[in-house]
Amino acid sequence: MSDSSSGSLYVVATPIGNLDDLSPRAARVLGEVALVAAEDTRHTARLLRHLGLSVPMLSLHEHNEAARVDQLDARLAAGEDIALVSDAGTPLISDPGFVLVRELRARGRRIVPLPGPCALVAALSAAGLPTDRFLFQGFLPAKGGGRRSRLEGLAGREETLVFYESPHRIRDTLADLEACFGARRLVLARELTKTFETFLDGTPAALLARLADDPDQARGEFVIMVAGAEPRPDQETAAVEAEALLGALLDEGVGVKQAAAVAARLLGGTKKTWYARAQALKERR
């Protein structure tokens, strides 16, 4: 239970580009709190100046967040209100704040969300991809091997997949998406709410070609949205189709070992499992 005499931590969403997107409530709270905990105080100072505010700030980022918990908790205990902001959008969504919110909530402090801009939601709302179910993965690993491994593990997911990406990795990421997802449809949202906001729609190969033709399209911050995989057949249907494939291979004179290798490549699973199924089918014939 929260202490009614202590202050509140306001988790404040700030604009991702267009400053007019800041809500009146967020502007009011930023002017009323005793302290703003900001991912980058220099960046937030520009927003505060735009609002005509002069509020004390304290840096809170991924490298010092855990060390700030006791300090901010003491100020809340003293009855002060604090605003938590990231450089852009909603704090904690691929931004700092999770550790602070988790620890303060565990201590019974009052956490108040002030909803507003979020690149993830803004991009999905205009992409024309299914939004009833989506899987947000934040930023993919920076190194190619880790990135491809993550994408391969997501290739069978049926939800719309959403990633954030930076300009210096966008081409490599699109190339890895082509390798792992083939001609799957994706939508690339760039520079949301800013002057050069752009949505590009097509296969990974088509979008790579577009970036090659117009290098300016590789500038800015990106939200990548990928159509989900086609629904997989139910278990009974899958079993019938698997047996039909094995039977067709055996009928064509393909050996059990080779048939198992083909089935594993096309349908997934281990060669050992498919070998046992192919051998059992051969013995029944």
In tens, the pLDDT along 37-47 reads 999 999 999 99
CA distances in angstroms from 139 to 48, 124, 151, listed in the order given: 28, 16, 12
> How many helices (H) does the chain have, and how many strands (E)?
11, 10
Check residues 96 and 284 and name the one with the higher pLDDT.
96
Return the bridge partners of 163, or none: 224
Which pair of tokens denotes residue 216? 């300016």
The count of C-alpha atoms lying within 13 angstroms of the C-alpha of 13, restricted to the half-sphere facing its C-beta, is: 23
108: left (phi over 0), alpha (psi -120 to 50) or beta: left
Mention every residue, 6+ apart, whose C-beta is less than 8 A from residue 19.
Answer: 47, 50
- Furthest-apart CA atoms within the chain: distance in Å: 83
At residue 1, does pLDDT exceed 50?
A: no
| Structure confidence by residue, pLDDT tens digits, 219-233 | 999 999 999 998 876
CATH of 120-226, one of 3.30.950.10, 3.30.565.10, 1.10.1060.10, 3.50.50.60: 3.30.950.10
Residue 285 near residue 250 (C-beta atoms within 8 A)? yes
| Structure confidence by residue, pLDDT tens digits, 127-184 | 999 999 999 999 999 999 999 999 999 999 999 999 999 999 999 999 999 999 999 9
Mean pLDDT of 204-216: 96
pTM: 0.79
Domains 8-117 and 120-226 belong to one CATH topology? no
Asked which of 36-40, 114-118, 168-172, 256-260 is least confident by mean pLDDT, the reply is 256-260
Burial class (CB in 10 A: 0-12, 13-18, 19+), 217: buried
The fold for domain 8-117 equals: Cobalt-precorrin-4 Transmethylase; domain 1 (3.40.1010)
Return the bridge partners of 186, or none: 202, 226
Q: Where are the domains of the chain?
A: 8-117, 120-226, 235-284
